[in-house]
Amino acid sequence: MESEQNETGVLAGDERMLIDGELRHTASGATFDVIHPASEQVAGVATDGTVADMEAAVGAARRAFDAGDWSRDVEFRRHCLMQLHEALDRNKERLRRILITEVGCPVTVTGSQIEAPIHEVAHWAEFGAAFDYLRYNGVHETPLGPAKRVLRYEPHGVVGAITPWNVPLYLNVAETVPALMAGNTVVLKPAQLTPWSGTELGRIVAEETDIPAGVFNVVVSNANEVGAALTADPRVDMITFTGSTATGRAILAAAAPTVKKTLLELGGKSAHIVLDDADLGSAMPLAAMMACVMSGQSCVLPSRILLPRSRYEEGIEGLKQMMENFPVGDPWTPGVMQGPQISETQRQKVLGLIRDGIDDGARLVTGGGIPGNLPVGYYTQPTLLVDVDPNSRIAQEEIFGPVLTVTPYDTDDEAVAIANNSIYGLSGEVSSADVDRAFAIAARMRTGNVSINGKSHFGINSPFGGTGQSGLGYRNGTHGYEEYLHIKTIGMPE
């Protein structure tokens, strides 16, 4: 196990990739630095994989699928994934410290990034073991006589998984474990900024499970062309990706020549419609908290608050109070709930969008810069912009920072129109004392998911996916599992 530790709690992950059952460095020995966002210091390195490494990993996955028994042995897959579940649980405190080191996620809010994915491994192992892969579809009359039809659910083959940096361990698991349990082999390409959440997963698979060589591979690299090689490789049958809409478009284009299946969870610019009968005393603090937890680096964040003009100033005051008192600081400190942005590049993007919003006429109520008490680390103040034009850049572009925009409206119809004025459609929220009224509004929002009065739509048993340019397909639930399977219809005599 290759790692480094110092007295601050910073912990580096394994440097090596996993290719065809072997933990290895790239042939040249090249590495790239991994920066701890809270200190701006190099915390360690990861091997800098190449296109040749990716080609080797894809070749291993292809051989493992075509020549091995993985796709045919459901009970063995369950056995291996339950081993993985137990191994992740044994390693969870190491994984937590690595996560804080490379992401800057506060220790207080790591549960959704550590415990949740560990639970999901066991869930998919049991779900896949109980799944009905062969289903009778009735007897049908044909010109040649009755035909019995059977539906057979089969794995696609080799799945390439490309994951982002905001919740890396969770998404590494969410994009690979159901694919594995469905009988596919997998090549994982983690984000450049967070390679260790991928390499540690590879190490655990190699050292603590019976998953055969080639079934699960991890290739890390600081070069974009390595991920592009995975997407374009004709030996890959499916790509699953979470990240920006711009990158999603590029993946679709690269996958087009081979017409491979793509599962995409892309950007969001979700609206929170606060109706005039809402309990602002609970809705506004929760909205502000959601904007700041994880430093606003969440695709489902309802970052556009739509307030009725009759309660506009009241709602703004509630948001302001919460954001000005939100605990921001060192992610290693218990009680802190907002850490740094992932990088200086990301922080400057957030600050630039805030400046653009002000230039476009938005009023800055609080925040807007770098916290004076946190000169080191990529920190951004919780920021509230009001009087925001719904057509302005700040209202249309995903920010991925601790920023809320507020826009007034006069009627329910106007609120729905503003909410739907977006290329995205990932998530949304409605607050109202009248649940039936809120449900009617939710039904009119062009988005894949909606929460009413803070009740989360997200869960392992419920399909999650976007409309518009927020993605294609679903994760979670039966719908999410079936994304990793194709249906073969077999006609046969009665």
Task: Judge whether 214 and 99 are in contact, CB under 8 Å.
Answer: no
| Phi (first) and psi of residue 294, to 5 degrees | 65, 25
| Phi (first) and psi of residue 470, to 5 degrees | -95, 0
Residue 77 above 70 pLDDT? yes
Residue 1 above 80 pLDDT? no
Whole-model pTM? 0.95
| Phi (first) and psi of residue 48, to 5 degrees | -100, 90
Task: Judge whether 124 and 81 are in contact, CB under 8 Å.
Answer: yes
CB burial of residue 259 (10 Å; 0-12, 13-18, 19+): exposed
The angle at the Cα of 248, spanning 470 to 242, to the nearest 5 degrees, equals: 70
Output the pLDDT for position 9: 84
CB burial of residue 456 (10 Å; 0-12, 13-18, 19+): exposed
Chain segment 239-281, per-residue pLDDT in tens: 999 999 999 999 999 999 999 999 999 999 999 999 999 999 9
Q: Say if domain 271-452 classifies as CATH 3.30.930.10.
A: no
Alpha helices (H) along 131-215: 168-181, 196-208
Chain segment 121-133, per-residue pLDDT in tens: 999 999 999 999 9
Mean pLDDT of the chain: 96
Chain segment 51-61, per-residue pLDDT in tens: 999 999 999 99
Long-range Cβ pairs for the range 284-287 (8 Å, 24+) = 284/315, 284/318, 284/319, 284/322, 285/318, 285/321, 285/322, 286/454, 287/319, 287/404, 287/429
- Domains of the chain, residue spans: 17-266+471-492, 271-452
Residue 7 above 50 pLDDT? no
Confidence grade of residue 4 (pLDDT, cut at 50, 70, 90): very low
Chain segment 431-460, per-residue pLDDT in tens: 999 999 999 999 999 999 999 999 999 999
Q: What average pLDDT does this structure show over 87-92?
A: 98
Name which of 332, 331, 334, 318 is nearest 366 in CA terms.
Answer: 318
Which residues are designated catalytic? 265, 299
- Select from 3.10.129.10, 3.40.605.10, 3.40.50.1100, 3.10.20.70 the CATH code of 17-266+471-492: 3.40.605.10
Output the pLDDT for position 220: 98
The Cα–Cα gap between 400 and 107 comes to 20
Residue 255 has which token pair? Answer: 């996958």
Residue 6 above 90 pLDDT? no
